[in-house]
C-alpha cells in the first residue's frame, strides 16, 4: 500500500507525495529567506520538489486516515 503524505510547496500549493518513491530528503534554504526540505524522488531521471514541512514530519511512520463517519 502506498504511503502518501500531505505537504505544501513554497507557493502554498497542497500536494500529496508518495513517500515510497522518495530517495532523499535534504534541507533547502532559499536566497529569499525561505526554508523547507527538498524531496528527491528515485526515478529514471532525477526529480525533486521543495516543501515547507520539516524533516520530523516527513520521517514520521505512516498514519491511517479515516474518512468522516468511518471506524
pLDDT digits (tens, 9 = 90+) for 14-57: 999 988 889 999 998 877 667 899 999 987 666 889 999 998 89
- pTM score above 0.75: no
CA separation for the pair 69, 42 (Å, rounded) = 36
The residues, ordered by sequence, that sit 6+ positions from 19 with a Cβ below 8 Å of its Cβ are: 3, 4, 5, 58, 62
Amino acid at each position: 500500500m502506498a504511503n502518501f503524505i500531505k505537504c505544501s510547496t513554497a507557493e502554498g500549493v497542497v500536494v500529496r507525495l508518495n513517500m515510497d518513491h522518495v530517495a532523499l530528503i535534504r534541507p533547502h534554504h532559499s536566497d529569499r529567506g525561505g526554508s523547507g526540505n527538498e524531496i528527491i524522488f528515485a526515478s529514471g531521471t532525477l526529480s525533486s520538489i521543495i516543501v515547507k514541512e520539516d524533516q520530523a514530519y516527513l520521517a514520521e511512520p505512516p498514519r491511517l486516515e479515516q474518512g468522516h463517519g468511518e471506524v
